[in-house]
Amino acid sequence: MDDYIPISALNDFLFCPHSLYYHALYSNFNEMIYHQKPQVEGRLRHATVDKGTYSTRKDCLQAISVCSEKYRIVGKIDTFLVDSGVLVERKTRVNRIYDGYRYQLYAQMFSLREMGYVVKKLYIHSLVDNKRYQIDMPNGEELVKFEELIGRIRCFDITNAVCTCSDTKRHQNIYQELY
């Protein structure tokens, strides 16, 4: 499983490819050293799902590990309602739907399908305002973009990479001091 990509890396890579390198570099450090307020808030808001205490519904899978052999991706889902086939990815605050959010959901969906589950609907849930946004199932074009993203991550070489992040993104990056 050494060549498996964490599902969370899909969103991180689109935000800033360098963040994958810095995630690995800091993986053995206490997160409080480099996490900023948004990351701390997100971790706290996500705690009930991570502990599996968000819902008592019998058909609600929470924070289970998933894996896709086809795409060689691995991660955890937030919540999946087995009976209705609804997969939900929770975010602290959703101001817009980023490609990375959709691709995380696609990765979770493909993983669940390989595990034998039927996924019918995809949602991003904004915790701060309790809004839910339905995400379309991937069509041909979106599937190609998803697969291209995985290919770009597999080929990423930090030694030859030039940071192309905008100043705004660089300012929001928790690793900004390292640029």
- Domain of 39, CATH number, reads 3.90.320.10
Number of domains within the chain: 1
d(CA 143, CA 106): 9
- Residue 104: the pLDDT is 97
Average pLDDT over residues 112-118: 98
Mean pLDDT value across residues 5-25:
81
pLDDT average, residue stretch 4-29? 78
The type of residue at 102 is R
d(CA 67, CA 107): 9
The answer to whether position 177 is within a domain reads: no
Residue 24 within a domain: yes
Looking at residues 111-131, what average pLDDT do you find? Answer: 96
Listed in sequence order, the residues at least 6 apart from 34 whose beta carbon sits closer than 8 Å to its beta carbon are: 26, 174, 175
Helix (H, G, I), strand (E, B) or coil at 126: strand
Residue type, 48: T
Which residue range(s) make up the domain with 58?
A: 5-171
- 65 vs 71: CA distance, rounded Å: 15
Specify if 179 maps to a domain. Answer: no
Does residue 176 form part of some domain? no
177 residue type, one letter: E
Give residue 175's pLDDT: 43
